[in-house]
A and B are shown apart, each in its own frame.
Chain A
Amino acid sequence: MRPAESSGAVQWRLVVPAVLGALALLATLGQGAALVITDVLIMVLFASSLNLLTSYGGMVSFGHAAYFGLGAYGLALPLAKLGLPLWAGLALGPLAAALGALAIGALCVRLTHIYFAMLTLACSEIVFTILFQAYDYTGGDTGITKFMAPRLGLDPRLYGALVLAIVSACLLLLWKVVRSPIGLAIRAVGEEPHRAAALGYSPRMVQLVAFVIAGTLAGVAGTLFAVYQGNAFPDYAGIGFTIDALVMVVIGGLHSFAGGVYGAVIYTLLKTFVSRYVTEWELVIGLILLAVVLVSPAGVAGGLGRLGHALGRRSA
């Protein structure tokens, strides 16, 4: 039940149509749709970063939003309080997330299973509470606003294209990481920590590397989100966003690289469109989650994979 991509090569015949399709949608559907697509793309990156930990590293983080939030505040705080230029904020956002993931990860990789999950929860709640309580610096629950024009003042379609480029680049990087020797080490430790240790790997070090990569990419997503919204709120680091990402990964499909992508697309679109017609969109998500876990534990990606296999067998 582990990721079983057949080769290390990037599957361009899937990637190119997906990217071109997103560009075409951005260009043709108008500004409102561009906002939704941008939201989806940012969540794709956030969920995929968590997916590195859950599907490859065998680590269930209950505090992944902490790095999303650090990415947002790493941008917003220096701009609002120190008056730093925009480019500095764009660099400091992911950097803050990376440093946060390094510090918290160094503690968390000492633990496994539920204890790991609970420690990531405690650490992320510390981040959330500090953002929430340090009213003088972060503005508490009123957040930080008006430190920059939302979406850099760009047309939503243009900002969407920019986010598409950045998210695509990050996902390619993530794919390269997963297929690289360190990626194989992450999978080895995730599946069989004892055997990996016997082969000479330091499980904790490997897990920490995975944790920092995942945290940094979540930080990039958080920074993009703060630019998109033009604000930063403590909730970005809260348990709500963490659960969103976990649900996305499970719906999309555990143990599949594309799981985070499918999950984020389905979840965000449902949230956007179902909530327009009925207020009970969470009920719908909950029922889908139940259905996935009970009917197709490998999620949408697993279901599509099985479909592909069945079709391939028939044509062969």
Chain B
Amino acid sequence: MVAVQIVNGLMEGMMLFLIASGLTLIFGITRIVNFAHGSLYMLGAFLTYQLVSHFAPGSLGGFAASVLLAALAVAALGTLFEILVLRRIYGADDLMQLIITVALVLVLRDVVQMAWGRNDVVVQMPDALAGALRIGGSYFPVFQLAIFGAGLAVLAVMVAVIRYTRAGILLRAATDDRGMVALLGINQARIFTAVFAVGSFLAGLAGGLASPFGNINYLLDTTVIVTAFIVVVIGGLGNLYGALAAALAVGVLKGLGVLYYPRLSMVLIFLIMAGVLVVRSLGRQTVGK
């Protein structure tokens, strides 16, 4: 039972990583805390729901194509928002930077309600991924295993890009020292736009991939963004590998928590988040910076 919960937790953790990866990427480079990340996730889920209906019900290819198209559409929206709005407030007040994405949250929540109403919608699981796989005497849903694989694939692509491409070198440089990169004659604005596009794509992708899991509704944005904050903070803001470790750990903790202390598990996770922040501050001069 414990082993099954751990495996389930790891699979949920990979889902959390998919959600958190875009958020931590955006923060690492632009220092923008994108509150709208949960809203972009929600939009990805709704768009997938809309697109899937144009394909044969239950077809794997149709589902994959829908998720990809939805993620691309979400990425386009994120890019537009970065160019039209965010670009004007880099370097502005702390609170301005923190609050501006809330505007997108409010707008998207109403847009989603206008387009799809207030009732839950359900995305049909692709037939090929329905059912369960028997491993070591326990059954594991194929769909979750597929999500786990998708998470690994996304991670592999991100790592490869960051390690081996010129874009990756620029990303790493911009994470370390934005000013220095600008001094070298690299167009910062273009990096920021690209990062926001990729981050939004990842949010939409996560929303699309997770869409057959549960009900999709207009309240999804808040739950998703809070969970994403937890993972990103525990993993270290802007730290991709940290986000992976934190996502898997939080997933397992949730899985085990459901088993032993269902009511305490969420409090425990927020306590860990607070503890990580406080412990990290201990070694740092906290005044100013």
Contacts and interface: CB of A to CB of B under 8 A. Distances in A.
Contacts of B278: 107, 110-111, 119
A284 to B, nearest CB: 8
Interface string A101-124: 000000100111111011101110
How many A residues touch the partner, as a band? Answer: 35 or more
B226 interface: yes
Contacts of B107: 282-283, 286-287, 290
A121 B230 CA distance: 10
Interface residues of B, number: 46
Given A112-B286, A123-B274, A246 B104 contact: no
B288 interface: yes
A111 B281 CA distance: 6
Contacts of B89: 293-294
B184 interface: no
Given A126-B270, A247-B99, A247-B102, A283 B110 contact: yes
Interface in A173-222: 193-194, 197, 203-204
B69 interface: no
Contacts of A197: 287
Contacts, number: 138
A243 B102 contact: yes
A62 B229 CA distance: 12
A250 B102 CA distance: 11
A134 B267 CA distance: 11
Interface in B81-112: 85, 88-89, 92-96, 98-100, 102-107, 109-111
Contact of B226 (A119, A134, A239): A239
Contacts of A118: 229, 233, 237, 273, 277
A145 interface: no
* Interface of chain A: mostly helix, strand, loop or mixed: helix
B281 A117 contact: no
| Most chain A CB neighbours (cut-off 10 Å) among B92, B109, B286 | B286
B97 to A, nearest CB: 9
A135 B277 CA distance: 29
* Interface of chain B: mostly helix, strand, loop or mixed: helix
| Most chain A CB neighbours (cut-off 10 Å) among B105, B109, B274 | B274
A54 B287 CA distance: 17
Contacts of B188: none
Nearest to A107: B278
A194 B288 contact: yes
Given A60-B94, A250-B95, A286-B110, A203 B287 contact: yes
Nearest to A1: B93
Nearest to B273: A122
Contacts of B80: none
B271 interface: yes
| Most chain A CB neighbours (cut-off 10 Å) among B85, B104, B273 | B273
Given A60-B98, A107-B274, A122-B233, A193 B33 contact: no
Interface in A54-81: 54, 58, 60, 62
B223 to A, nearest CB: 10
B114 interface: yes
A240 interface: yes
Given A126-B267, A203-B287, 4 more contacts: A121-B226, A197-B287, A254-B93, A279-B113
Interface of A: 1, 54, 58, 60, 62, 107, 110-115, 117-119, 121-123, 125-126, 129-130, 133-135, 193-194, 197, 203-204, 239-240, 243, 246-247, 249-250, 254, 279-283, 285-287, 289-290, 293-294, 297
